[in-house]
Amino acid sequence: MSGLFGPLQEAQAYVIQRSLRPHLLGRDPLANELLLDQMLRLDRHGRSGLSMTGVSPVDCALWDLKGKAWGQPVYRLLGGPTRPSVPAYASMLRFSLEPTAAAEAAREYQAKGFTAQKWFFRHGPGDGEAGKAKNVATARALREAVGPDYALMFDAVMGWDTPYAIDMVKRLAPLNPAWMEEPIPPERVGGLRQIREAAGFPIATGEHVYTRWQVKELLVAGAVDVLQTDPDWTGGITELTKICALASAFETPVVAHGHSLLPALHVAAAQSPVTVPRVEFLIRSQENKQYFHKPIYRPEGGDVRLPDLPGLGLVIDESKVESRTTMEFKA
pLDDT tens, position by position, 159-172: 999 999 999 999 99
Q: Assess contact for 1 and 69: CB atoms under 8 A.
A: yes
305 strand-pairing partners: 85
pLDDT tens, position by position, 112-130: 999 999 999 999 999 999 9
Average pLDDT (48-61) is: 96
Average pLDDT of every residue of the chain: 96
Average pLDDT (15-21) is: 93
Tally of helices (H runs) and strands (E runs) in the chain: 13, 8
pLDDT tens, position by position, 134-162: 999 999 999 999 999 999 999 999 999 99
Q: Assess contact for 264 and 256: CB atoms under 8 A.
A: yes
Q: Are strands 151-155 and 179-181 parallel, antiparallel or unpaired?
A: parallel
What does the alpha-carbon distance between residue 240 and residue 169 come to, in Å, rounded to a whole number? 29
304 strand-pairing partners: 86
Quote the pLDDT of residue 181. 98
Helix ranges, the chain (H) = 10-15, 21-24, 32-42, 49-70, 74-77, 99-111, 128-146, 162-172, 189-199, 211-220, 236-249, 262-269, 286-289
Using 50, 70 and 90 to split pLDDT, how confident is the model at 331? low
Active site residues: 257
Quote the pLDDT of residue 326. 82
Quote the pLDDT of residue 325. 86
What does the alpha-carbon distance between residue 211 and residue 231 come to, in Å, rounded to a whole number? 10
What does the alpha-carbon distance between residue 165 and residue 152 come to, in Å, rounded to a whole number? 18
Q: DSSP assignment of 52-78, as one string?
A: HHHHHHHHHHHHHHHHHHHTSBHHHHT
pLDDT tens, position by position, 20-46: 999 999 999 999 999 999 999 998 888
Q: Assess contact for 39 and 58: CB atoms under 8 A.
A: yes
Question: 73-84 burial by CB neighbour count: b if 16+ within 10 A, else e?
Answer: bbbbbbebbbee
Domains of the chain, CATH where assigned: 10-73 (3.30.390.10), 76-305 (3.20.20.120)
Global pTM? Answer: 0.96
